[in-house]
Each structure stands twice: as C-alpha cells, then as structure tokens.
Amino acid sequence: MDLGDVPNDQTWPRNAWYVAFMADEVVDRPLARTICGERMVFFRGQNGEVSALDDFCPHRGAPLSLGFVRDGALVCGYHGLAVDCRGKVSGMPGQRVGGFPPARRYPTMERYGFIWVWPGNAEAADAALLRHLEWAESPQWAYGGGYYHIDCDYRLMIDNLMDLTHETYVHANSIGQKEIDEAPVKTRATEDEVVTSRFMDNVVAPPFWQMALRGAGLPDQDRVDRWQICRFGLPSHVMIEVGVALQGHGGYDADDTAKASSIVVDFITPETETSHHYFWGMARRFAVDDAALTDTIREGQGKIFGEDLEMLERQQANLSRHPDRKLLKLNIDAGGVRSRMMIERAIMAESGSVASSDRAGLDMAAI
C-alpha cells in the first residue's frame, strides 16, 4: 500500500484548526488565501475580530479580496456589493440585495499570535480542540518566526520534519553533523501524537548551536549533549524539542543554566494537493529578553528552512513527473509513516470509512 494515497478525493482533515495568517498580517485590508483547497478572504470587522468568507461575490463572482473594508463590512471592488462579518449581504449602491444568499463563512479565531481557520463543518468547530501552546503565553519563552509558501504536498514537509537525518546533508553548514546519522532513532505513537527522538552525547555543537550557546552565555567550544524530539499532532503540526547542554550536566534534563533549549514550531497548512503554507519559528527558554538574539535566530532559521524549501519543491517536481513510482521506506521513516497513518485515519473518520492502513493490517513493527 502507498501511504501517500488516500482512498478518496480528500488528502487532508477538514474538521480541524489550521493557521491561516500571523495575526499582525490581517490589519485594515482583505487578504486572500487558499486553505485546504478553499479560496477564502480574511478581514477584520468593526470589533477587530477576524472573519473568513468564501472569496466569491454573490453578485457576479468577483473575488471579494479585491475589494476593501468599510465600516466593518467587506465591499466588493467590482460593483460595490457589501457583506458583513457573517457573510450576509448588507447593501449595494442603488440596488435591492436583501434577498441575496450569504457568502459562506468559515469559523476563525485569533490565538497565540496566529489567525486560525476551520475549513470543515462549521457546526463541529470547537475552540477547545486547539492544543494549548505554553510557549506562546509564558514570559519564560521568546518566539520569532516567519512564513514560506512551498510548492509541494504538505505531507512531504511532515516527512521532512519527522526524520531529521537529512540535516547532515541538507543543512551541513548550520545544524548538520555526522552524529545525527549515527544516533539511533526511536519512534512511538499514541492516540494524539507521533514522537520520534534522537539523543547525541558528547558531541561538538554545529555552527547554529554554537551561536545559541553564545546567546545563552555559555562556552560555544565545549562538548555538548544534543537532543531532537519531534512531535506530530493533527491536523498537520510538528513541534520539535531541540537543544544542547554542556556535556555531563544531564543533557535534556539539564538545568536551564547549562543548556540552550528550544522548540522548533512548524504549522503546516495545506493549500492544494501540491502546495502548502508553512509557518515556522523557534520558541526558546534562554536569553528571552534579547531581541537582537531573536532576530539572529530568525535569520539563521529562515536560511535553514530555505534549504528545505528547495529540496522539497524539487522532490515534488520529481514525484509529479513519475506518479507511478513507489517510494522505499526505512526505519528512519517510521515517524513520517505513522504521521501519515494518523492523518489518513482522521480523514476516513470524517467520511465514516475505515482507514485503508487498518484494513491492510500494516505491521508498523517492521518499520
């Protein structure tokens, strides 16, 4: 069975919260974005809350995103038809439009510095289903991040993040080192998440982590214990606990004074079957008041993810040219494979079917 093939037309869970924008992007004008194949327009109403509507004017089908916001309503830039934050047509110069059908409204919320949207059944949307992100609310953490549009299947990015072996090769000059290849990888899955972990003891910190050690006020040439713990959760988010501790101080469990510890934040939002929105960042627990360090880390991380972007887009181009070729799997792929299985089960649950991986009786112990 090819785990990349879902036995229906849906390749992503729809009844879930996805990041659509960083909160400070949605200000005083409408913004368009395609989420899970749905073209949406986002804007702020009079009360400042963000609404998301179908980007389709009910009059002549023009994109509402080409219009403007006036008195909390979204005005179409073609003939001036206005819709309110609920999608209800509220007026049009010289015309009677009270009987016009409303534009579809997608549930949204603003939390943790992001705008979230629910592209599925609006009645099923529940804010309580969004996982709590401690790093986004606690003063003990600092965060900096960015955005990339990437022309590849969102699941390829999940594969990339759940198997960090590629760092030795794709990121050789920043975070890669040979010990990543040599350290054993452990994978486990629960009902809510898939976790892969790798620990490297008594190693030389690579350039990015030398910079982080300096930022934490620690010696950057001392040998360190390094860890990578990748956590996948539905619908398509990956949080990676990463860090280095001065060798002999307890590694992952070392006191904050002896380590540089962070969470790599990865919100992966499907756009089409071969493209996605990638919101990346790093939340750290050291030197949290150092704004200059936040900028330095953001710049370095942006370059690292830029290297992933090139690799993934070229991978997608190859896969698109050869859709019938099957990909081989190794034990290092277990995290990505299990994550895809979790996605597939969520999709099949929405359709009331049985996930094909379950029907096939796939023995994951062999991976």
Q: Which of the two residues, 9 and 349, has the higher pLDDT score?
A: 349
Query: What pLDDT is stored for residue 247 in this prediction?
Result: 96
- pLDDT for 221 equals 95
Q: What pTM, to 2 d.p., does this model score?
A: 0.90
Q: What is the pLDDT of residue 98?
A: 75
Helix axes 334-351, 154-162, angle to 10 degrees: 140
- Provide the token pair at 211: 């910079």
Alpha-carbon distance of 15 to 90, in angstroms, equals 29
Phi-psi region of 71 (alpha: psi -120 to 50; beta: other; left: phi over 0): left
pLDDT value for 10: 78
In whole angstroms, how far apart are CA 308 and each of 44, 148, 204, 242, 291? 33, 11, 23, 18, 26
The CATH architecture annotation of domain 134-351 reads Alpha-Beta Complex (3.90)
Predicted local confidence at residue 9, as pLDDT: 65
The stretch 284-288 carries a mean pLDDT of 92
Cα–Cα distance for residue pair 261/284, rounded to 1 Å: 6
Average pLDDT of every residue of the chain: 90
Q: What confidence score (pLDDT) does residue 116 get?
A: 98
Which helix (H) or strand (E) segment is 93 a member of? none
What residues does each domain of the chain span?
A: 18-129, 134-351
pLDDT, one tens digit per residue, over 170-181 is 887 889 888 888
User: Can you read off the two tokens belonging to residue 76?
Assistant: 């179409």
Mean pLDDT on 321-341: 91
Look at residue 97 and tell me whether its pLDDT is greater than 80: no
pLDDT reported for residue 176: 86
208 with 175: CB under 8 angstroms?
Answer: yes
> What tens digit of pLDDT does each residue of 289-312 get?
999 999 999 999 999 988 999 999
Cα separations (Å) of 356 from 162, 202, 337, 345, 350? 22, 43, 13, 8, 14
Q: Which fold has domain 18-129?
A: Rieske Iron-sulfur Protein (2.102.10)
Tell me which of 96-105, 195-204, 245-254 is least confident.
Answer: 96-105
Spell out the residues 6+ positions from residue 280 whose beta carbon is closer than 8 angstroms to its own: 145, 146, 147, 148, 264, 265, 266, 267, 301, 302, 305
